[in-house]
Structure 1
Amino acid sequence: MVGRRFADPSGGPLPARRLADALRTETIGGVLLIAAALIGLVWANTPWASAYTDISQYKIGYLNLAGWSAEGLLAIFFFVAGLELKREFAVGDLRDPKRAVLPIAAAVGGMAVPALIYTLINLGGAVRGWAIPSATDIAFALAVLAVIGKHLPPALRTFLLTLAVVDDLLAIIIIAVFYTASLHVLWLLLALVPLTLFALAVRRFPRTYLLLPLAVATWALVHESGVHATVAGVLLAFTVPVAATESVEHRWRPVSAGIAVPVFAFFAAGVSISGGFGASLRDRITIGVVCGLVLGKTIGITAATWLVQRFTRAELAEELRWPHVIGLGMLGGVGFTVSLLIGELAFGAGTEQDDHAKIGVLLGSVISAVLAAVLLNTMRQKGRPRGRP
């Protein structure tokens, strides 16, 4: 009786199942992300900062722990994102052009305008970081929306999710095309061998542990090719049959939300601000990132949505108003995980320029989240039924 009480239908212990279910929710994943980043940031600015640095730089194989979090664990995050991408394009909102055109346009505008603002501010300087403010952190943004989402239109969340899927796809392309320092074609061709075997095996044995060594082999060969290894996660996801994407994502999302993303955030956010915070605020990299996230995302998402609706037959969902779209644009300025990763790729992890970029990402994301929460909370108050809390 005791064994049956604590077992779930899949054969796993009930506490583990409950934990996994919690990690699949946007709120818990977002909270873990924020908590891990705060711990890393605070620790890096205490008298024990040297211990944090020692842990970050502790080497296992040919990468240190910070490197493994960025290139290894984040591959799991991109694998889950790739599964969601494939499903959305095959059977989701992105399959229908009429429903997809507005969030696609919003995603493109929300990446182009921040990149333009950053580049203009940094002309003649660190323009290589142009893509840093162009990414949206969907876990963080959805966590904010989940906290204030009561009485907001359900279409708002759908719009944000669809926008974020396209944003992820564009971010993956940017990383692969613009932040590959050198390309070794032979290693990339060799990666096709385990990738092809994975594609064949996942169709016949989607739950077998044979898939894991094939995935690791693909990751290692992509890493050796010079392409950022997280791209391997997307390539592997695209080989999963559409019918199996939801179940595979269900299995791996808790690992992504509970381990991969928080560990990366812990190492990526650990920048020392005690000595040169004022100088960082005056640095053009920091200013460019903050302005790109706070202003660029809001302007880009809102303007692109308005232009497409104005000059095409596309229309907003009936329950959405333009203040909702502006608030969603502000939420798009929460560019945490991928923005931090691009900063490391652009300037090199641990460099002074990377530290300025990190401060910009942290400030810009917090400001965007607060502004979005204030505006959307105002809209929620207006949409709240009388007599309801």
Structure 2
Amino acid sequence: MAATEQLFNVRERKRFERHDIWERIAENGTISAAVMVFAAIAAVICANTDAYEAVHHFLETPLYVGLGNLTAGLTVELFVNDFLMAIFFLLVGIELKYEMTVGELKNPRQAMLPMLAAVGGVVVPACIYLIFNHAGARNGWAIPMATDIAFALGVLSLLGNRVPNGVRVFFSTLAIADDLISIAAIAIFYGQSPNPFWLGAAALVTCALVWLNKTQHYRLAPYSVLGLLLWFCMFKSGVHATLAGVILAFTIPAKCGVKLDSLTDWLGECLPLLDDRYDDEAHILGQHDFTVSTTKVERVMHRVTPPLIRMERLISTPVNFVILPIFAFVNAQVRLVGVDMSTLLTDPVTLGVYFGMLLGKPIGIFGMTFALVKLKISELPHNVNWHMIAGVGILGGIGFTMSILISGLAFPTAQFEVLAAKAAILAGSVTAAVLGMIYMSVICKHPAPKDE
């Protein structure tokens, strides 16, 4: 604090303090999840009032993106689901790459239990859905299998230090593996028939991104430009365009452009030079040599942070507080006016999605974990018991963002099936959140012991 007081005046220090407060708010998963929930509630209310027609008309407004003759036509709703959600997938890809580089997915043996538990939490919900829809809307099998990582971890964070770190790590790794499976399902099962020309163009752009990475380009601008071009090519190709975000994330360098072991020595050489060139009696505008030297230091220090982290800092707040709430508002338009509720509640899609989320997730996650531990293939994390694994399974049924996205892809023209799926997703997510929160509150009554 003393160093900050020496560097800045009172007004600037207050600005820094406000910035720190905003950063803590932006990094709080509970707050961002709450904003998304409020947006979904607002959407449901709006969909069942007179405002629905105006909102629906706006979402169907045509947009055109591109340059010159290279244009793509889409509606506002499609822009949100295909373009803005590609930025969300970019953030998901960054998190996956981080975990695979230095996180829980770096150690295959440590990550194996939650990753295989995620497989169980995908297979069982899909099977339950197909039991209800074996003779009907089978294309929606992937809807109940996705866990909303932001929403679920936000609910878990409400319990504070009562939840052992092992549970958080297990659930985080499981949710990340769940995202990987969902991304693969979208890529393989929910794309259109690919256009060979645009698919080839997307491959060329991907090669250019890989080349940037291999030749150690550390500026974000070329990656961003090629990322936009990749999105356009994938949108035109018929492959779901949001996958461009994941591809872009895995090509952005995770290393910095500075030899960190020599950084301290270099700074030691620069500081005396800055001190010599600074004149405390002259205006800063007249100290050309000093400002040139400081600009050089700024450029080098900027490169200390890897481009992957810089991109994450750039998009994380807009994704959590702008893009996901917009997505929730656009896609949670569940209009029940004039709908036969008995038909909706008994529809196979509604039942398959709801029970797939509420029963399939805990059965799949707990069952796979139990089998792996009893077969001595793996063991439970430190300070984690079977009651907590069951709680993780219940919370795994929170499947908001990815489930809603898949429902639109599974039933692009079947409006009633989309309505049934979205209604079940909202009901299932809320039920899983409430039950999971109550259950975890009961079994985690006291602060968790510190990990050794």
Structure 2 match to 1:72: 83
How big is each residue's C-alpha offset from its partner over 1:318-374, in whole Å with a ceiling of 9 and x where there is no partner?
211111001100111000000000000000167111111100101111111111011
The corresponding residue for 1:291 is 355
The question of 1:103 aligning with 2:103 is answered no
Task: Find the residue that maps to 2:445 and give its secondary structure.
Answer: helix
Question: Counterparts of 1:156-171 in structure 2 under 5 Å?
Answer: 156-171=167-182
SS at the partner of 1:63? strand
Shift of 1:210: 3.5
SS of residue in 1 equivalent to 2:309 = helix
Question: Partner of 2:118: helix, strand, or coil?
Answer: helix
The structural deviation recorded for 1:204 is 4.4
SS of the equivalent of 2:424 reads: helix
- Any residues of structure 2 matched to 1:193-232 within 5 Å, and which? 193-201=204-212, 204-232=216-244
| Structure with greater Cα Rg | 2
Equivalences for residues 144-155 of structure 1 within 5 A? 144-155=155-166
SS in 2 for 1:150: helix
Q: Distance in 1 between matches of 2:433 and 2:11?
A: 45
Cα distance in 1 between the residues matched to 2:161 and 2:413: 39
Q: CA deviation at 1:15?
A: 5.0
Contact 2:361 2:397 in 1 (8 A): yes
2-structure distance, mates of 1:272, 1:186? 40
Deviation at 1:177, TM superposition (A): 0.2
Q: Hey, what's the Cα distance between the residues in 2 that align with 1:221 and 1:255?
A: 24
Q: Is the 8 A contact 2:161 2:447 kept in 1?
A: no
Q: Is the 1:26–1:139 contact (alpha carbons within 8 Å) kept by the matching residues of 2?
A: yes
Cα pair distance change 1:47/1:153, threshold 3 Å: same
User: Residue by residue, what CA displacement relative to the aligned partner does 1:144-202 show, whole Å, maximum 9, x if unpaired?
Assistant: 11112331111111111101111111100000000012111221111133333334446
Moved more, 172-181 or 61-70: 61-70
**Is the 8 Å Cα contact of residues 24 and 257 (structure 1) preserved in structure 2?**
no
1:263 aligns with 2:326: yes
Q: Unaligned 5+ residue runs, structure 1? A: 9-13
Q: Which amino acid aligns with 2:323?
A: A
d(CA) in 1 for partners of 2:21, 2:36: 19
Deviation at 1:95, TM superposition (A): 1.8
Distance change >3 Å, CA 65–CA 18, structure 1 → 2: farther
Equivalent residues in 2 for 1:323-342, closer than 5 Å: 323-342=387-406
The farther-off stretch of 337-346 and 92-101 is: 92-101
Instruction: Find the counterpart in structure 1 of residue 443 from structure 2.
Output: 379
Is contact 2:133–2:352 with CA below 8 Å preserved after alignment?
yes
Deviation per CA, 1:66-100, whole angstroms, max 9, x where unpaired? Answer: 11111011111111111111121222111212211
Cα distance in 2 for partners of 1:221, 1:91 equals 32
Query: What TM-score, normalized to structure 2?
Result: 0.80
Matched, 1:274 2:341: no
Corresponding residue of 2:25: 22
Q: Distance in 2 between matches of 1:139 and 1:60?
A: 30
The answer to whether the aligner puts 1:93 opposite 2:101 as a matched pair is no
TM-score normalised by the chain length of structure 1: 0.92
What are the ranges of 5 or more consecutive residues in structure 2 without an aligned counterpart? Answer: 1-8, 65-72, 256-305
Deviations 1:35-69 (CA, angstroms, capped at 9, x unpaired): 11111111011122112212221222211111111
Q: Is 1:56 the counterpart of 2:59 in the alignment?
A: yes
* 2:270 alignment counterpart: none
Secondary structure of the 2:86 match is helix
1:355 and 2:358 matched: no
After superposition, the C-alpha distances for 1:79-138 in whole angstroms (9 at most, x for unaligned) are: 111111112122211121221111011100000000000001101100100000000001
Q: Which amino acid aligns with 1:185?
A: P
1:317 paired with 2:381, answer yes
Counterparts of 2:321 and 2:46 in 1: how far apart (Å)? 20
Counterparts of 2:403 and 2:36, CA distance in 1: 14
Do the aligned residues in 1 keep the contact of 2:223 with 2:252 (CA within 8 Å)? no
Once residues 217 and 414 of structure 2 are traced to their aligned partners in structure 1, the CA distance between those partners, rounded to angstroms, is: 42
Counterparts of 1:363 and 1:328 in 2: how far apart (Å)?
Answer: 18
Paired-residue identity, %: 37
Would you say the 8 A contact 1:199–1:236 is kept in 2?
no
Would you say the 8 A contact 2:119–2:178 is kept in 1?
Answer: yes
C-alpha distance 44-3 of structure 1, shift in aligned 2 (>3 A): same
1:4 equivalent among 6, 12, 34: 12
Counterpart Cα distance in 2 of 1:337 and 1:149 = 24
Q: Residue 206 of structure 2 contacts residue 230 of structure 2 at CA under 8 Å; is this kept in 1?
A: yes
SS in 1 for 2:162: coil
Please, which of 312, 334, 339 is the counterpart of residue 249 of structure 1? 312
Could you say what the CA RMSD is over the residues aligned between the two structures, in angstroms? 2.0
Give the Å deviation of 1:215. 1.2
CA distance in 2, matches of 1:31, 1:162: 22
The separation in 2 between residues aligned to 1:304 and 1:124, in whole angstroms, is: 28
| Number of residues of Structure 1 aligned to a counterpart in Structure 2 | 380
The code of the aligned residue for 1:329 comes to G
- The residue aligned with 1:134 is 145
**Structure 1 CA distance, aligned partners of 2:146 and 2:432?**
13
The match for 1:11 is: none
Give the counterpart letter for 1:98 in structure 2: R
What SS does the corresponding residue of 1:270 show, helix, strand or coil? coil
Q: Contact conserved, 1:109 with 1:303, CA < 8 A, in 2?
A: yes
Partner of 2:68: none
Q: Hey, what does 2:5 align to over in structure 1?
A: none
CA separation in 2, counterparts of 1:232 and 1:146? 31
Q: 1: distance between equivalents of 2:62 and 2:207? A: 31
Flag the 1:350–1:67 CA change in 2: closer, same or farther, 3 A: farther
Distance in 2 separating the partners of 1:186 and 1:287: 41
Aligned partners of 1:149 and 1:380 also within 8 Å? no
Contact kept, 8 Å, 2:164 with 2:448, in 1: the verdict is no
Mapped to 1, the partners of 2:78 and 2:414 lie a distance apart of 11
2:286 equivalent in structure 1: none
